[in-house]
């Protein structure tokens, strides 16, 4: 339209819509999470692997037995074994708690 020598054109919005900005922001957050999950804090650490090994009881005191595992000594409470008994223990890598234990010959 022409109003006194001035033409008024339909204004078009050339910026990003709120939906597009939200999508970009969400994708960026997801990307950051993936980088952290893969490189900074590996997902496999959330579910530690089970390790089974054979150990010997090295000491016992007040119902608590101590065995030397691959990474450090571990305790078994309410222990009904004797010093020198051989056990098969199972524990999660990176934890101190023994999940299962049984005497072996």
Overall number of domains in the chain: 2
Same domain, 68 and 96: yes
**Per-residue pLDDT tens digits for 49-92:** 889 999 999 999 998 999 999 888 999 999 999 999 999 999 98
92 and 60, same domain (yes or no): yes
Query: Measured at the alpha carbon of residue 71, what is the angle toward residues 65 and 72, in degrees to the nearest 5?
Result: 35
Q: What is the pLDDT of residue 10?
A: 54
pTM, full prediction:
0.56
CATH for 60: 2.40.50
Question: Which pLDDT tens digit goes with each residue over 16-27?
Answer: 888 999 999 999
Domain of 26? 2-43
Shared domain for 64 and 83, answered yes or no, is yes
* pLDDT score of 9 more than 60: no
């Amino acid at each position: 339209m022409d109003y006194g020598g001035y033409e008024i054109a339909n204004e078009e919005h050339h910026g990003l819509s709120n939906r597009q900005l939200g999508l970009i922001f969400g994708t960026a957050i997801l990307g950051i999470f993936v980088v952290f999950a893969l490189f900074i804090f590996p997902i496999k650490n959330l579910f530690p692997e089970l390790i089974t090994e054979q150990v010997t009881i090295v000491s016992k005191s007040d119902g608590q037995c101590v065995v030397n595992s691959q990474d450090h000594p571990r305790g078994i409470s309410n222990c009904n074994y004797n010093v020198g008994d051989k056990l098969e223990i199972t524990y999660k890598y990176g934890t101190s708690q023994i999940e299962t234990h049984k005497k072996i010959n």
